Amino acid sequence: MSSMIKIAVDAMGGDNSPKKIIDGVIHHHTNNENVFYKFFGDEEQIKKFLDNKIKKDKFEIVNTLNKVSSEDSPLEAAKRGKDTSMWLAVESVKKKDCDIVISAGNTGALLVISKLNLKMIENIDKPALSALWPNKKGMSVVLDLGANIECSSKNLFDFSIMGASLYKSLYINEIPKVALLNIGSEELKGNETIKETYKILNDKKSEDYKFLGYIEGNELMNGNVNVIVSDGFTGNVALKTAEGTANFITNELKEALGGSLIGKISSLLNISNLKKFKKRLDPRLYNGAIFIGLDSPVVKSHGGTDYIGFSNSLEVCCKIIKGNLIDKIKRNI
């Protein structure tokens, strides 16, 4: 693999595009000399926002005025044609022009267009949507977050292997510790699919990860486990609950500390601790969900994030390529 990482960037996806996307790339470029960005979108607008802030030999623009909108259904997005910025960005990875693709556009559309263009890794039936979550000791990989509502034990087993491989790609020196999200920690709890998956993972000894059994929703953030596996329905509910709780805490804290004079004085006295707390819960730090199971990596940035969040998801792209994620999954499967 050459040391230059080539990222296909859908410049037209998400809120406030392409400005946010270009600002994120400029921010990322300042610390990443060995990355080449291939933009797909409205060339005139992209050039205007780039404003000569990236070296000419570090980017290329493929001009297209057609784009997938956030209102499009996945089917409508696929029917829009093969000249949308999202389709062309994914296709460039299929053609091996780029190593990885990133879009802040419509999630359902990105999944469908990726599945239409890219093959599945051999022996994997379904791709999963995975993301990073903070925990007390660092970070966890959680999957599936909504790509598959119904899953078999084979799917959940595959997700475990893929999640462990992803964790190892991002955190090379750490051991993936895998657990299944369930309604209890005892072996008898849960539905038949979960129990079957437990048995498969428990019987299969692996040097690539440790299987730690079940994890309940209230333990997701304690850091004893760093790869959390569930079907897409449960995973998506858990994700939205966690996001809502984080927003609730930060907003309530803001109100409590900003309301009365005593609140304002105590917030001044605690300013460094509050900044640390706010940073820990900043969703921009954990931006960048990954579709795994396809034979090329696809990264989904949150549509509503700002340029800092987008820059962080470009960093996830670099780690995935440096960590040889696809090779790791193929070897472990």
For residue 18, say if its preceding peptide bond is cis, omega within 30 degrees of 0. Answer: yes
- Closest listed residue to residue 150, CA positions, set 230, 89, 221: 230
Pairing of strands 35-41, 59-63: parallel
Q: Report the mean per-residue pLDDT for the chain.
A: 88
Q: What is the pLDDT of residue 324?
A: 86
More confident residue, 8 or 189: 8
Q: How far, in whole angstroms, is CA 4 from its chain's centroid?
A: 22
Q: What is the pLDDT of residues 203-222, one digit of tens each?
A: 987 888 999 999 998 898 89
CATH of 129-284, one of 3.40.1180.10, 1.20.1630.10, 3.30.540.10, 3.40.718.10: 3.40.718.10
Q: What is the pLDDT of residue 208?
A: 86
Q: Which amino acid is at 330?
A: K
Q: What is the pLDDT of residues 264-304, one digit of tens each?
A: 666 665 666 666 666 666 667 777 789 999 999 999 998 88
pLDDT band at 35, cuts 50/70/90?
A: very high
Q: What is the pLDDT of residue 200?
A: 93
Q: Which two tokens stand for residue 146?
A: 């909504």
Q: What is the pLDDT of residues 158-205, one digit of tens each?
A: 999 999 999 999 898 899 999 999 998 777 677 899 999 999 999 987
Q: How far, in whole angstroms, is CA 156 from its chain's centroid?
A: 18
More confident residue, 284 or 23: 23
Q: Which two tokens stand for residue 123?
A: 């022996």
Q: Calculate Rg over the CA atoms of the chain.
A: 21
Other residues' Cβ atoms within 10 Å of the Cβ of residue 284: 16
Average pLDDT over residues 76-80: 84
CA-to-CA distance for 50 and 44, rounded, in angstroms?
10
Q: What is the pLDDT of residue 266?
A: 63
pLDDT band at 36, cuts 50/70/90?
A: very high
On the question of pLDDT at 321 being above 80, the answer is: yes
Q: What is the pLDDT of residue 189?
A: 78
CA dist list (Å): 75 to 79, 89, 144, 191, 272: 6, 18, 21, 32, 48
On the question of pLDDT at 1 being above 50, the answer is: no
DSSP 59-127: EEEEE--B---TT--HHHHHHT-TTBHHHHHHHHHHTTSSSEEEE-S-HHHHHHHHHHHSPBPTT--S-
Q: Which of 53-62, 101-110, 115-124, 236-245 has the lowest average pLDDT? A: 236-245
Is residue 148 a contact partner of residue 124, using CB atoms and an 8 Å limit?
no
Cα torsion 60, 63, 66, 68 to 10°: value is 0
DSSP 190-245: S-HHHHHHHHHHHHS--SS-EEEEEE-GGGTTSSS-SEEE--HHHHHHHHHHHHHH
Q: What is the pLDDT of residues 241-267, one digit of tens each?
A: 887 887 787 777 777 666 666 656 666
pLDDT band at 313, cuts 50/70/90?
A: very high
What sign results for the dihedral spanned by CA atoms 49, 52, 57, 61? positive
Other residues' Cβ atoms within 10 Å of the Cβ of residue 230: 26
Share of the chain above pLDDT 90, in %: 56
Average pLDDT over residues 316-320: 92
Q: What is the pLDDT of residue 2?
A: 53
What is the value of pTM for the model shown?
A: 0.86
Domain ranges of the chain: 1-124+293-333, 129-284
Rounded to a whole number of angstroms, the distance between the first and last alpha carbons of the chain is 22
On the question of pLDDT at 74 being above 50, the answer is: yes
Q: Which residues are registered as beta bridge partners of 141?
A: 132, 227
Q: CATH topology of 1-124+293-333 equal to that of 129-284?
A: yes
Q: Which two tokens stand for residue 213?
A: 């059994």
Q: Which two tokens stand for residue 153?
A: 């034990």
Q: Which two tokens stand for residue 157?
A: 């087993």
Average pLDDT over residues 110-127: 92
* Fold category of 1-124+293-333 in CATH: Isopropylmalate Dehydrogenase (3.40.718)
